[in-house]
Structure 1
C-alpha cells in the first residue's frame, strides 16, 4: 500500500515532546504511532479507548485530590491493601 497521505496537526510542544519520548521508549516513530492509532480506530470502528465525561463525584474527587484533601497515604503496597481490607 502506497503511503502518500499527509496528516498535519498543531499540538502543545510539551505534549508532543512527552509523547515522542514515550514512543521512543516503545521503539516507535511518531509516524508508526499515528499509524497504529489509526489502525486501531479502523479495527474497532471507533476510538481504541473509552472516552467519558466525568460526573459530579469524579469532578469533586479531582478537586479534592488536587487540593490535597481527603487523601489516604500508604507507605507501600501492603499498607494500601491493609487499608483497603484486602
Structure 2
C-alpha cells in the first residue's frame, strides 16, 4: 500500500512539473500562491487574536490555511461560521 501511495505521489509531481514548464507559467504563479498563503495565515491570526470573538479559535493548520488560500476572506467567514455552528 505504501508503494502505491509513493508511486502516485511521484507520478503527480512529474505531471505537475510537465504542466508548469510546458505551459510556460514560469515562477510567477509560485509568488502569487505564496502571497495568498501568507495572507491566509495572517487573516486567521487576526481573527484569533483580535478579541472580537473570544470563544472562537481557528487553529493554524494546513487544512484551514488551504481553505482560506483558495476561498479568500469568505473562507475565514466560513470557518468562523462552522466553528460557531458545530462547537
TM-score bracket for the superposition, by shorter chain length: 0.3 to 0.5
Bigger helix fraction: 2
Considering Cα pairs closer than 8 Å and 6+ residues apart, tell me whether 1 or 2 has the greater RCO: 2
TM-score by length of 2: 0.33
Structure with greater Cα Rg: 1
